[in-house]
């Protein structure tokens, strides 16, 4: 029966720290990949929306801007007070149907905003993982400096799987 050699405390601690750092970095990379995919989806949706926006006619473009809420605070306040613009021409209400292209652009912009929010929240969640992995790695390096030659050989053997 082959018995595994008893490793020193320092060597065991270095191996534990390195293993933990590896696990944390693996999780970090997996979450980062998910975040980058969300960002790419957001950019694709915004690209499609901008292509559709370039194809809009003047009235459709005006409708899109109105639905986005463009026009500044004074016009927004005036919109809240009446259905009429300053010239006196009746403005369409929110219940009236919008052109399909305008609906699609607004839908794409909404999806893009959702994906951007997912990207940002994922980045905020994974930042501590990377820092913790770097901390474990530095602890292992600091401990490695204090090893005796015999402990270094134990560490090498443990890493090689012997």
Does 2 reside within a domain? no
In a domain, 152, yes or no: yes
Give me the domain span that covers residue 56. Answer: 9-160
Tell me, yes or no, whether 52 lies in a domain: yes
Provide the mean pLDDT of the chain.
81
Which two three-digit tokens encode residue 141? 């390096």
Q: What is the pLDDT of residues 41-83, one digit of tens each?
A: 999 998 988 888 888 888 888 887 887 775 545 555 555 555 5
pLDDT of residue 78: 53
> Does some domain include residue 4?
no
pLDDT at 94: 55
Q: Give pLDDT tens digits for 92-144.
A: 555 566 678 888 888 888 889 998 999 999 889 888 999 999 999 999 999 99
* Residue 1 lies inside a defined structural domain of this protein: no
1 pLDDT band, cuts 50/70/90, is: very low
| pTM (2 d.p.) | 0.63
**How many domains in the chain?**
1
Q: Is residue 143 part of a domain?
A: yes
């Amino acid at each position: 029966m082959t018995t595994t050699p008893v490793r020193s405390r320092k060597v065991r601690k270095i191996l534990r720290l390195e293993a933990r750092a590896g696990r944390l970095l693996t999780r970090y990379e997996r979450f980062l990949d998910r975040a980058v995919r969300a960002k790419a989806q957001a950019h694709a949706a915004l690209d499609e929306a901008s292509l559709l926006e370039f194809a809009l006619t003047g009235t459709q473009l005006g409708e899109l801007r109105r639905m986005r809420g463009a026009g500044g605070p004074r016009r927004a306040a005036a919109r809240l007070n009446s259905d009429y613009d300053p010239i006196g021409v009746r403005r369409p209400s929110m219940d009236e149907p919008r052109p399909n292209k305008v609906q699609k652009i607004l839908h794409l912009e909404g999806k893009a905003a959702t994906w951007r929010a997912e990207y940002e929240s994922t980045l905020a969640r994974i930042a501590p993982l990377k820092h913790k992995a770097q901390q474990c790695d530095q602890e292992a390096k600091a401990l490695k400096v204090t090893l005796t030659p015999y402990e270094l050989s134990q560490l090498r053997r443990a890493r090689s799987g012997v």
